[in-house]
Amino acid sequence: MSALRFEVLARSGTCEARVGRVTTLHGSFDTPAFMPVGTAGSVKGLLPEQVAQTGSQIILANTYHLMLRPGAQLVAQMGGLHGWMRWDRPILTDSGGYQVFSLAQIRRLHDEGVEFKSHIDGATIGLTPEAAIQVQNQLGADIIMPLDDCPPAAAEGLGGGAAGSEPRIEETVVSEAVYPRLQQACERTVRWLGRCVRAHERRRDQALFGIVQGGIDLRLRSWCVQRVIEYDLPGYAIGGVAVGEGFDQVRSVVEHTAPLLPADRPRYLMGVGYERDLLVAVRAGVDMFDCVLPTRNGRNALAFTSGGPIRLRNARYADDARVIEPGCDCVACGSVGGRAGFSRGYLRHLFMAGEMLGPVLVSAHNIRHFQRYMLDIRRAIIENDWSLIERNWPVVRSWLEGSGASVRRRC
Amino acid sequence: MSALRFEVLARSGTCEARVGRVTTLHGSFDTPAFMPVGTAGSVKGLLPEQVAQTGSQIILANTYHLMLRPGAQLVAQMGGLHGWMRWDRPILTDSGGYQVFSLAQIRRLHDEGVEFKSHIDGATIGLTPEAAIQVQNQLGADIIMPLDDCPPAAAEGLGGGAAGSEPRIEETVVSEAVYPRLQQACERTVRWLGRCVRAHERRRDQALFGIVQGGIDLRLRSWCVQRVIEYDLPGYAIGGVAVGEGFDQVRSVVEHTAPLLPADRPRYLMGVGYERDLLVAVRAGVDMFDCVLPTRNGRNALAFTSGGPIRLRNARYADDARVIEPGCDCVACGSVGGRAGFSRGYLRHLFMAGEMLGPVLVSAHNIRHFQRYMLDIRRAIIENDWSLIERNWPVVRSWLEGSGASVRRRC
């Protein structure tokens, strides 16, 4: 078999959403899929079996972090990512590009590649398209990504709005001042993709996706889609979103770009996002997501619920005997081996006392929250009934009502 | 039934060691028993079911920490310790005294009780024998401890040797300069015990133990035993050891004191210790132990093995594909749901990268290490064959050989 197979199992009757299954040499995952992030080879605080218990069928690991520490060669020598971290299901690695542009101090960016200072020890490291693929060949994930030129929107004024001043939907053509940089990033991303395709040495067991850049400029997005799909790759990603721009801009880009990508390949929206973002993207035809929100927020005592997030450090929860979300079947809320779920009061105490178990439990809950949400989204698509989402997920409903757009009416 | 029942199931033919079972209203535990420490109502990093999976049948929680945060009344309101932390098996709470003397700044110590500054917010708190019992009645552990006057040996010159200069065994009568303070602590501990017995309001479901003090002075230990056992309590503890004195002193105190305590009650050696300490104490007739070593050291990347501890941060482990201890059945070393154990190389990476999963896994391993050790000790007693310990636990063997005392020969 090939490195990746994608089957579409059901399509929404009213929008671009579809339910599918992606099969890799390490097993399958259902789409639309949410991938929790295991940055340095560990979904923070959770054992692999606990990650699996959240319903996660695929996880993402960050090439940037792993190449700096412990190094891809060591991981390869220790059995590759799957064996090393003891996760025998599908894994996706990013190219490292996003972190180079967001975490590291860039020393030089040119057509050959990018030189940056390691955020760990300040060492100067070079990353080329070929190196990004070689490193990912060593790590051995099932799905790998090409190096792209991914300028942060907000930091460089590429359409990123200041906090609280989201640009309106219409503003989807960038100003003349920033357009050249955006166009350069697009063209470079396409050139680099060609080099990545040629450098890829494990085509039989690793699927290399293409990435579409273009910022919030829809003409550039269209242009980039055309160039990228010429490579006839097993999947395509929409990159360069959630890098500082507002929700309406993300929405505009996704609703424009996703339908341009081949319908018989999985579409992956990188680094997104909140529940409403996922819903909008699924309805535009996106199949895969990753986001650090459940784990990063979980470590900070922010727990997702169907009615919106709650801050567990708040004093009001000290004597709250309820679990985070009554009815949730996660390890924090659900009954396990005769024990009832943990109360919000106890969880608050864990955070106030600096106990590790707090981050562990709320991370597990938050990931399960997103997986239960994806389950309902897949069901809504199969049953062609989006009212399910409106009923079960008030956090989305209230936004939909606020924006005047009902899920049911739109789909 | 009463709050606690103790059955002796087997006795060593050659020493004071015995195998028994303690039964509380929350179930039984086998003795000799090792209790991991859940200081603030959580064995750090581990879910209750993970603690149970280490073979731990009873845990210890610290009254001092819980009374300061979140407060015993809140815990009582939330269902007591068992319900609050979701551990439905036996729990023991200490009195808070030990932490007052070791963690807090003492403002005033007198016959009525002790006033100290909270190490959390600096507030001045008073703790009397009656208050210590009231707090523990609120927490609701199965076994509770009386407030004792527990002066730190090293800090106050009560026999504590400087590092590397362990006093010899013969030095078990303290100097005239410190004797008065030690005698005062003993007498006060006995007076306070009487007040604790009178204050105890849940005799039907909570077993109050007595504590023997006396430092390294064996005459004082004997005197204290006589006074304490007059109260005819369901169990007795040896306190005031492992507070800064050397191994030989601890050994001398334990071998002197344990046999003086009633043979039909469980004997508990507080806050001890390493494998050799446990072995020496078991052979002197001790039945219960608690110690923070497995979790505290586990968080610092120190993993216990049958051959001695290893420091996982050491660079030599970076590419070590072995688990911490081949043959160990803990969640870190053993096979779980089809996944093999985690390599030392991966564990080292987790610590180097600051990943929570490192402390979680090594804490679980270390607790399991001590529980497997207790299993072997119980088996050695039942089979009256201590060579089992010499074979399976080189960490003890090498010490025994070094000290010229073979387990087999001695017992």
Nearest to B321 by CA among B307, B309, B333: B333
State residue A142's pLDDT score: 98
Q: In this structure, are B140 and B248 located in the same domain?
A: yes
Nearest beta carbon to residue A355 from set B42, B337, B341: B42
Nearest beta carbon to residue A74 from set B65, B318, B342: B318
Mean pLDDT of chain B: 92
Q: What is the mean pLDDT of residues B60-78?
A: 97
DSSP codes joined into one string, A282-315: HHTT--EEE-SHHHHHHHTTEE--TT--EETTSG
Q: In this structure, are A332 and A408 located in the same domain?
A: yes
DSSP codes joined into one string, B173-184: S--TTTHHHHHH
Amino acid letter, residue A5: R
B48: domain CATH number is 3.20.20.105
Q: Please name every residue paired with B6 in a beta bridge, in sequence order, or none if there are none.
A: B22
Q: What is the mean pLDDT of residues B379-405?
A: 86
Q: In this structure, are A376 and A233 located in the same domain?
A: no
The yes-or-no verdict on residue B154 having pLDDT over 60 is no
Interface list for A 76-95 with B (CB within 8 A): 77-79, 83-88
The verdict on whether B385 is a catalytic residue reads no
The yes-or-no verdict on residue B96 having pLDDT over 80 is yes
Interface list for A 15-54 with B (CB within 8 A): 40-42, 44-49, 52
State residue A153's pLDDT score: 61
Which residues on A lie below 8 Å from B346 (Cβ)?
41, 78, 84-86
Return the SS3 of B284. Answer: coil
Nearest beta carbon to residue B321 from set A78, A345, A359: A78
Return the SS3 of B353. Answer: coil
Q: In this structure, are B269 and B364 located in the same domain?
A: no
A357 in B contact zone (CB under 8 Å): yes
| pLDDT level of residue B171 (50, 70, 90 thresholds) | very low
Go through chain A and tell me how many residues it has. 411
How many domains does chain A fold into?
Answer: 2
Q: Which regions in chain A score pLDDT beneath 50?
A: 154-171, 408-411
DSSP codes joined into one string, A153-176: HHHHTSSPPPTT-PPPTT--S--T
B383 in A contact zone (CB under 8 Å): no
Q: In this structure, are B68 and B147 located in the same domain?
A: yes
Q: What are the tokens at A152?
A: 């942060």
State residue B105's pLDDT score: 87
Residue where one domain finishes, among candidates A229, A262, A291: A291
Which residues on B lie below 8 Å from A352 (Cβ)?
69-70
Query: Higher pLDDT residue, B380 or A177?
Result: B380
Residue A245 C-alpha from the chain's centroid:
16
Query: Is B338 in Cβ contact with A40 (below 8 Å)?
Result: no
Query: Is B359 in Cβ contact with A360 (below 8 Å)?
Result: no
Residue numbers of the domain that contains B309: 292-411
Interface list for B 304-323 with A (CB within 8 A): 318-319, 321
B350 in A contact zone (CB under 8 Å): yes
State residue B161's pLDDT score: 40
Q: In this structure, are A343 and A379 located in the same domain?
A: yes
Query: Is A319 in Cβ contact with B86 (below 8 Å)?
Result: no
Query: Higher pLDDT residue, B142 or A409?
Result: B142
Q: In this structure, are B287 and B297 located in the same domain?
A: no
Nearest beta carbon to residue A48 from set B42, B78, B339: B339
Nearest beta carbon to residue B78 from set A46, A319, A336: A319
Determine the residue among A64, A73, A74, A78 to mutate to test chain B binding: the one whose Cβ has the most chain B Cβ atoms within 10 Å.
A78
Q: What are the tokens at A285?
A: 């035809």
Determine the residue among B47, B64, B87 to mutate to test chain A binding: the one whose Cβ has the most chain A Cβ atoms within 10 Å.
B47
State residue B379's pLDDT score: 98
Amino acid letter, residue A140: G
ipTM score here? Answer: 0.94
Please tell me the distance in Å from B141's CA to the nearest CA on chain A.
17
Burial class, A176, CB count within 10 angstroms (exposed 0-12 / middle 13-18 / buried 19+):
exposed
Residue where one domain finishes, among candidates B241, B260, B291: B291
Determine the residue among B82, B339, B351 to mutate to test chain A binding: the one whose Cβ has the most chain A Cβ atoms within 10 Å.
B339
Query: Is A44 in Cβ contact with B352 (below 8 Å)?
Result: no
Strands A91-93 and A143-144, by their bridges, are parallel
State residue A405's pLDDT score: 55
Q: Which residues contact A209 (CB under 8 A, 6 or more apart)?
A: A143, A144, A145, A146, A233, A234, A235, A236, A237, A268
Which residues on B lie below 8 Å from A342 (Cβ)?
86
Q: Please name every residue paired with A18 in a beta bridge, in sequence order, or none if there are none.
A: A11
Q: In this structure, are A343 and A235 located in the same domain?
A: no
Task: Summarize pLDDT for B237-288 with one digit per residue, the tens.
Answer: 999 998 778 889 999 999 999 999 999 999 999 999 999 999 999 999 999 9
B162 in A contact zone (CB under 8 Å): no
Cα Rg of chain A, angstroms: 21
State residue B324's pLDDT score: 98
Nearest to B32 by CA among B406, B376, B330, B291: B376
Question: Which of the residues B30, B94, B148, B248 is marked catalytic?
Answer: B94
Query: Is A70 in Cβ contact with B318 (below 8 Å)?
Result: yes
Which residues on B lie below 8 Å from A356 (Cβ)?
44-45, 356, 359-360
DSSP code of residue A339: B
Q: In this structure, are B235 and B313 located in the same domain?
A: no
The verdict on whether A94 is a catalytic residue reads yes
Please tell me the distance in Å from A71's CA to the nearest CA on chain B.
10
Please tell me the distance in Å from B217's CA to the nearest CA on chain A.
38
State residue B94's pLDDT score: 96
Nearest CA in chain B to A343: B84
Q: In this structure, are B348 and B203 located in the same domain?
A: no
State how far the Cα of B204 lies from the Cα of B176, in Å rounded to an integer: 43
B263 in A contact zone (CB under 8 Å): no
Go through chain B and tell me how many residues it has. 411
State residue B169's pLDDT score: 38
State residue A238's pLDDT score: 97
Q: What is the mean pLDDT of residues B224-249?
A: 93
Residue where one domain finishes, among candidates B255, B270, B291: B291
State residue A104's pLDDT score: 82
Return the SS3 of A260. Answer: helix
State residue B411's pLDDT score: 46
Query: Is A46 in Cβ contact with B86 (below 8 Å)?
Result: no
Residue B131 C-alpha from the chain's centroid:
23
| pLDDT level of residue B382 (50, 70, 90 thresholds) | very high
State how far the Cα of B52 lies from the Cα of B117, in Å rounded to an integer: 35
Q: What is the mean pLDDT of residues B92-107?
A: 89
State residue B157's pLDDT score: 47
Q: In this structure, are A222 and A188 located in the same domain?
A: yes
At CA B56, angle to CA B132 and CA B256, rounded to 5? 65
Nearest to A80 by CA among A6, A144, A123: A144
State how far the Cα of B122 lies from the Cα of B107, in Å rounded to an integer: 11
State residue A173's pLDDT score: 61
DSSP codes joined into one string, B64-105: HHHHHTT-HHHHHHTTHHHHHHT--S-EEE--SHHHHHHTSE
Task: Summarize pLDDT for A175-215 with one digit per residue, the tens.
Answer: 777 889 899 999 999 999 999 999 999 999 999 999 999 99
Q: In this structure, are B285 and B303 located in the same domain?
A: no
The yes-or-no verdict on residue B46 having pLDDT over 80 is yes
